[in-house]
């Protein structure tokens, strides 16, 4: 029975965020802990494991390390985890390897972590067949694409297909192992950065690109196509949208597909827009919408403080605007471990007076003075039960629910991505009953609240995940690039390498 090693290294690195990502920020699963934690979940590794069983491959779990999106990964953390992963893979002597990678990990002085990891793996493991799943926000490089055999990137944002991509790449890898296919990849990258809020795959222009990618996948000889929308909050030369087309032995076919998709993305560059309004205007609009009837919360989208994009999650600008407007029934969550500790000292039912949020840096609003009552104190850990990574456990730590004159403020010990209603239900909050709900997320919140939202309003808040890419201090990014520069030249015909 062929032996399949399974592992991965997962981080989306926001190089503009100040909080570094250290070794202790990673959840490190080794050996059987991988299967114990991820078997049966709708994650890429959940997909690898189910496919391996179906394909009668013997699974050798190695190391899977993942951390919440945040600032630059400490060099030592990367060196330690990469060294350990490669060591464990070598030790199990596999016939093939499947990796769950994000694709936008950056470490101190290593712009292209995934490319570096594959270079090291090739040195240690030679020509072992290697496949991976990538996030839709991967910033893929030509180096990385050259060194890996198979890539299946998520097709969805909100991300609801990580498991399916795991299944897909596992089946392709099995065919490669059996000598049935000979994958050749071609890579194309137009000079194009896209703000996260403009990357939703269920609306144009990403929906059109994904449809084209799926049409290309149906062509005889094409094995798989990845359109990675890219992560614009990583200041690396190759950040932005990229295309990887994989064909069976036919480099020209792969090249044509990659080039056509890159050209289509480039042609649509003017349509990748995010519309947002100032905070006070957004709150007034939300209150007006509530007057108009309907059900479910009006969602205020705080994309600049996107926890899933590496922002601190303690931005206060919308909380302040809601307090100013006296927006009763609003629900806001932010991270502030000091206030959680204070709430635990005074206890449930007690009054609390403090400054909350805005403590990580000065780019997400100032700390806000609050006076309120501690309604609930609880461990906020939960399991994803919706469409995102279903079955995976989230170690959320302690949280306090505060009542600020009718505004419900959830203060968290740790950052939590609002991708599943359980994040609030675990604290006794029914999101359906909220009048206004603030989400620190660009698009992925829709996996949790898209179906119940009365309306959604994108708000122009400040922060390291801003929709306004021109305001970010890029230094390492290739230039010129759209939309930062004017009259950017691009000849898609010459582009697929």
**Residues interacting with Zn ion, by CB under 5 A?**
135, 137
| Nearer of residues 135 and 161 to Zn ion, judged by Cβ | 135
Q: Hey, which residues does 333 pair with through a beta bridge? A: 410
Smallest gap from residue 234 Cβ to Zn ion (A):
12
| Nearer of residues 287 and 389 to Zn ion, judged by Cβ | 389
Smallest gap from residue 212 Cβ to Zn ion (A):
20
- Look-up of token digits 């194309």: 188
Residues belonging to the chain: 497
Smallest gap from residue 137 Cβ to Zn ion (A):
4
Smallest gap from residue 288 Cβ to Zn ion (A):
33
Smallest gap from residue 136 Cβ to Zn ion (A):
5
How far, in Å, are 227, 271, 279 from residue 210 at the CA level?
7, 15, 33
Smallest gap from residue 224 Cβ to Zn ion (A):
18
Nearest-angstrom CA–CA distance, 95 and 107: 29
Nearest-angstrom CA–CA distance, 354 and 342: 9
| Nearer of residues 153 and 190 to Zn ion, judged by Cβ | 153
| Nearer of residues 65 and 389 to Zn ion, judged by Cβ | 389
The token pair that represents 245 in the structure block: 């087309």
| Beta carbons within 8 Å of 70's beta carbon, 6+ residues apart | 11, 13, 14, 17, 19, 20, 21, 25, 310, 415
| Nearer of residues 137 and 412 to Zn ion, judged by Cβ | 137
- Look-up of token digits 């199990």: 92
Smallest gap from residue 402 Cβ to Zn ion (A):
31
* Of residues 262, 240, 243, the one with CA closest to residue 482: 240
Smallest gap from residue 160 Cβ to Zn ion (A):
11
| Nearer of residues 27 and 35 to Zn ion, judged by Cβ | 27
CB–CB of 421/285 below 8 Å?
no
| Nearer of residues 135 and 458 to Zn ion, judged by Cβ | 135
CB atoms within 10 A of CB 484: 16
| Nearer of residues 137 and 165 to Zn ion, judged by Cβ | 137
Smallest gap from residue 108 Cβ to Zn ion (A):
22
| Nearer of residues 137 and 185 to Zn ion, judged by Cβ | 137
Smallest gap from residue 14 Cβ to Zn ion (A):
12
| Nearer of residues 156 and 189 to Zn ion, judged by Cβ | 156
Smallest gap from residue 159 Cβ to Zn ion (A):
6
| Nearer of residues 135 and 302 to Zn ion, judged by Cβ | 135
Residue number of the CB atom closest to Zn ion: 137
Q: How far is CA 121 from the centre of its chain?
A: 25
Nearest-angstrom CA–CA distance, 73 and 77: 7
């Amino acid at each position: 029975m062929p032996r399949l090693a399974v592992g991965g290294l997962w981080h989306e690195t926001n190089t503009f965020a100040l909080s570094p990502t250290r070794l202790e920020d990673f959840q490190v699963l080794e050996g059987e802990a991988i299967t114990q934690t991820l078997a049966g979940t709708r994650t890429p590794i959940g997909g690898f494991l189910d496919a391996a069983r179906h394909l009668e491959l013997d699974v050798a779990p190695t190391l899977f390390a993942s951390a919440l999106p945040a600032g630059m990964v400490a060099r030592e953390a990367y060196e330690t985890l990469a060294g350990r992963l490669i060591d464990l893979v070598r030790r199990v002597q596999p016939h093939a390897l499947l990796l769950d990678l994000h694709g936008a990990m950056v470490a101190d002085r290593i712009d292209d972590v995934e490319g570096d990891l594959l270079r090291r793996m090739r040195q240690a493991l030679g020509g072992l067949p290697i496949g991976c799943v990538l996030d839709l926000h991967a910033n893929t490089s030509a180096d990385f694409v050259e060194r890996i055999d198979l890539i299946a990137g998520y097709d969805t944002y909100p991300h609801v297909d990580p498991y399916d991509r795991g299944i897909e790449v596992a089946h392709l890898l099995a065919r490669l192992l059996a000598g049935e296919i000979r994958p050749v990849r071609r890579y194309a990258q137009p000079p194009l950065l896209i703000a996260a809020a403009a990357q939703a795959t269920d609306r144009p222009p990403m929906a059109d690109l994904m449809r084209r990618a799926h049409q290309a996948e149906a062509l005889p000889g094409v094995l798989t196509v990845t359109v990675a929308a890219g992560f614009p909050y990583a200041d690396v030369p190759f950040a932005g949208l990229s295309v990887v087309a994989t064909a069976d032995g036919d480099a020209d076919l792969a090249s044509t597909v990659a080039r056509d998709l890159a050209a289509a993305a480039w042609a649509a560059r003017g349509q990748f827009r995010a519309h947002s309004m100032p905070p006070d205007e957004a709150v007034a609009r939300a209150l007006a919408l509530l007057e108009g009837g309907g059900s479910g919360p009006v969602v205020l989208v705080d994309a600049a403080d996107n926890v899933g994009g590496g922002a601190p999650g303690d931005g206060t600008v919308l909380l302040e605007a809601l307090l100013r407007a006296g927006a009763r029934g609003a629900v806001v969550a932010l991270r502030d471990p000091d206030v959680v500790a204070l709430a635990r000292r005074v206890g449930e039912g007690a009054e609390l007076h403090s400054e909350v949020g805005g403590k990580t840096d000065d780019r997400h609003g100032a700390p806000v003075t609050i006076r309120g009552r501690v309604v609930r104190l609880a461990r906020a850990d939960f399991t994803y039960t919706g469409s995102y990574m279903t079955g995976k456990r989230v170690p959320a730590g302690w949280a306090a629910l505060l009542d600020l004159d009718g505004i419900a403020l959830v203060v968290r010990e740790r950052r939590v991505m609002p991708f599943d209603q359980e994040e609030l239900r675990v604290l006794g909050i029914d999101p359906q009953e909220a009048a206004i709900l603030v989400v620190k997320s660009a698009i992925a919140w829709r996996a949790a609240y898209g179906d119940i939202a009365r309306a959604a309003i994108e708000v122009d808040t400040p922060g390291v995940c801003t929709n306004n890419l021109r305001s970010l201090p890029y230094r390492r990014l290739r230039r010129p690039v759209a939309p930062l520069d004017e009259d950017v030249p691009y000849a898609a015909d010459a582009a697929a390498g």
